Structure 1
Amino acid sequence: MNLKRIIIAITVVLIGTGNINAQDMKTEVPKISDFPVGEENTGYAQYFTGKSWLAPLTTSKELNVPMSNVTFEPGCRNNWHSHTGGQLLIAVGGVGYYQERGKAARRLLPGDVVEIAPNVEHWHGAAPDSWFSHLAIACNPQTNQNTWLEVVNDEEYAEAVKDRNSKNGKDENRIELCKENYTQLFGGEALTGGGTDPEMMDILQKYIFGEVFRTGDLDIKTREMITCVSLAAMQQPPQLKSHAGAALNTGVTPIELREAIYQCAPIIGFPKVLNALGAINSTFTERGIKLPLEKQETVTEEDRLEKGLAIQKPLYGEAMKELLKDVPGGMGADVARFLTEVHFGDFQTRSGLNTQTRELLTFCVLTVIGAEPQLQSHLQANLKVGNSKETLTAAIIQCMPYIGFPAAIKVLDIIKKA
């Protein structure tokens, strides 16, 4: 066991663990460590860019070791500042950064320890695309005082994180990238060599988290939503439950995740979606997220057809009505109406996800089930709502480890020829 792990293990024993108690706040805080999140850090908000949460962990006056868990939303960081007595930071969740004045920024992952000497000007915070938590321990507390300085402006922050923010850098070692992504998603450690089939897990993890995750410009939240809807379509509840937790860890809100699964219903059928909801609701319950979630419905019985048409017609025209007009018994008109009312009226009008995201996820689900004729029309719809061919390509590559090369390559050919 290395020094980092020893420090975290001792800290857990001394302090204990807690559950996130920020679920009732407007911002859903994902569980990225076993330490409590505490309350929104309003007392120090003037010294932070973005939102943070503070959970004091020690209270003993005899010990006099002030220690707190600080949680940052993606992109949040504190101002330049210094401590007359110095400070220790221990990263416990997500991905963050630490920078001293005049030096390059340091990327922080769970287990990393930062020793900050007295009076050294510095800042720390979350990566642009990840929540981040660290333990903050005040050194020499009898005389230690903070000196708050100017904000870390957007240009400074962008410069600090630019070398490691992009997952497309082909020069980054895929093993290190695999470990970083896996820890950010699941909070554990990749490539451990454990289990009954360590060779298979080694190949799988390097391929998915070390290579697929850096291909294309999708952010990590979108990648996890794509993975979740793919697993829902494939009816893989154990893996879906795990990736539901990973999605929350990347900043996907419970509403967004639920809407992504709801969106699958007209495509894969309601029974499969109910199974998928069982998996993600299990994760929500474990995280202390109160069910049912807030309603997102925006239509009524009277206007669901009208509002569905308002979305469907600009994207797809009346092609489906034409396709179904010769169905025996004249029932094609009923099917066309059902499609408009249910897929577009009941689901596409819901709040929680925008149309651009819904169309991208729909394209991925159609890819998973091999619905080639529908892929053609939904490809054009995606282009209309602003999803480029490059975005669609990256999305299909994200599906590739789950559906296999043949199915993915077939759809990549469709995108290429469009």
Structure 2
Amino acid sequence: MNKEVKFTDKGTLAPAEHFTGTAWVHINVAPGEGYHTIVGTVAFEPMARTNWHVHQTGQILMVTNGTGYYQEEGEPIRLIKEGDVIKIGKNVNHWHGGSMYQSMTHIAIVTDLDRGKTIWGVPVKDEDYSSYTAAASNVENYLTSAAIKNHEDLWPNYVSKLQVTDPELIEIFDNWAFDEVYAKSELDIQTRTIITLASTIGTQSLAEFSMFVKAALNVGVSPAVIKEVVYQSVAYVGVAKGIDFLNTTNEIFKANGIALPLEGQMTTTPENREAKGLELMKATFGERIDQMRNEAPQDLQHIQYFLAANCFGDYYTRKGMDIKMRELVTYAVLVSMGGAESQVDGHIKGNLNVGNNRATLIAVTTQLLPYIGYPRTLNALSAINKLTLETE
């Protein structure tokens, strides 16, 4: 036991008999205050950790800063990060602490102290602590905390093979795409994931699409919305390019126990699809739709019919996504395809008309930059500047 008890603004130095390395404990709520509960803030320096131990009444950990490790007996070590809540069952043997290269702070809560106690065990051996996947440990060494956290939000406990074979590229890309780009594109996590998913269809990137279907499920995007992204894209990339993405979606859904087919989302009938589609086209693009239809040559009138009945009547009128999200999805697909500049212009105007302003379009384009590259991004931003500076 520590003979000298040290106290700083972090709290009291954790006792060496129960901890390896340097950790600090600050008691927020003590049992003597009339509660059978103890609440403490524990700050671990890198590589610091608790001994193996058991709480007879269980424990809750809430990570408030940094990145750390958590392990239950018989299970692999888990990477835990700011925002994570770990619920530890009664009599579960476990340990927790800072990660190899980063500190970690959590709030620890143990209740019902009158019904059980904490039983401390042996220290975690260095070789066991260091057994956490080499690639994951290395990635902590060169990725920022924000990059790790944002990547983990999408793909918990995922370790890329590229982290082993191409660590320099991962350092460049992940710190940029999952830290700097996030900071400059204020989007909620579901919107960010949906528009990136749509973009991968536009770039015909099936492997990355598969990753983002899984990410979408991980962040709570419904299967219906994921399917609507795929269906919507068919109107723009064509079914020949869309079919592989649909099949991949179905495979991932089945692997996750999602029954197919999903509940239908159609809202039109063969009789009213043109009228409903045309109504939505006018609501999105204004009365110029009538001019466009009237001025089309006679031998192209069928295309105007298809735009109303099929593109808008069959797809845009569906449930699952509202018009604001559908326009963002369409914009994401179009700017990612390249070669569709006039359509990008039209759908920037459509986005503005349905309530997606310049700031939203810039945020979406910024999010897509890592996946579509600078030329297509700069083209899209040029169009946004031209059209929004004229109208706002």
TM over 0.5: yes
Q: Does 1:135 align with 2:94?
A: no
- Structure 2 partner of 1:358: 326
CA deviations 1:236-271 (Å, max 9, x no partner) are 212111110011111111001110111111111112
CA RMSD for the aligned pairs?
3.1
Q: Does 1:385 align with 2:329?
A: no
- CA contact 2:185–2:367 (8 Å) conserved in 1: no
Correspondence for 1:296 among 255, 259, 265? 265
How far off is 1:311 after superposition? 0.5
TM-score normalised by L of structure 1: 0.61
How far off is 1:138 after superposition? 2.7
**Secondary structure of the structure 1 residue equivalent to 2:147:** helix
- Structure 1 partner of 2:307: 339
- CA contact 1:190–1:205 (8 Å) conserved in 2: no
CA deviations 1:66-108 (Å, max 9, x no partner) are 9xxxxxxxxxxxxxxxxxx653236xxxxxxx3xxxxxx8259
- CA contact 1:193–1:202 (8 Å) conserved in 2: no
**Secondary structure of the structure 1 residue equivalent to 2:144:** helix
TM-score normalised by L of structure 2: 0.64
- Structure 2 partner of 1:95: none
CA deviations 1:47-79 (Å, max 9, x no partner) are xxxxxxxxxxxxxxxxxx89xxxxxxxxxxxxx
How far off is 1:334 after superposition? 0.6
Amino acid at match of 1:343: C
Gaps of 5+ in 2: 1-53, 73-81, 93-109, 115-141, 388-392
Amino acid at match of 2:325: T
CA distance in 2, matches of 1:110, 1:350: 44
How far off is 1:197 after superposition? 2.1
CA distance in 1, matches of 2:249, 2:196: 13
Q: Does 1:88 align with 2:59?
A: yes
Of 195-204 and 392-401, the range deviating more from structure 2:
195-204
CA distance in 2, matches of 1:303, 1:134: 52
Q: Which has the larger radius of gyration?
A: 2
Q: Does 1:241 align with 2:210?
A: yes
CA distance in 1, matches of 2:359, 2:289: 27
How far off is 1:401 after superposition? 1.1
Gaps of 5+ in 1: 1-64, 67-84, 91-97, 99-104, 115-125, 148-172
Aligned residues with identical type, % of pairs: 32
Residues 135 and 108 (structure 1), Cα distance of their counterparts in 2 relative to 1, 3 Å cut: farther
- The count of aligned residue pairs is 281
CA distance in 2, matches of 1:394, 1:144: 44
Correspondence for 2:251 among 279, 282, 285? 282
How far off is 1:340 after superposition? 0.6
- CA contact 1:88–1:113 (8 Å) conserved in 2: no
CA distance in 2, matches of 1:387, 1:110: 39
CA distance in 1, matches of 2:278, 2:68: 48
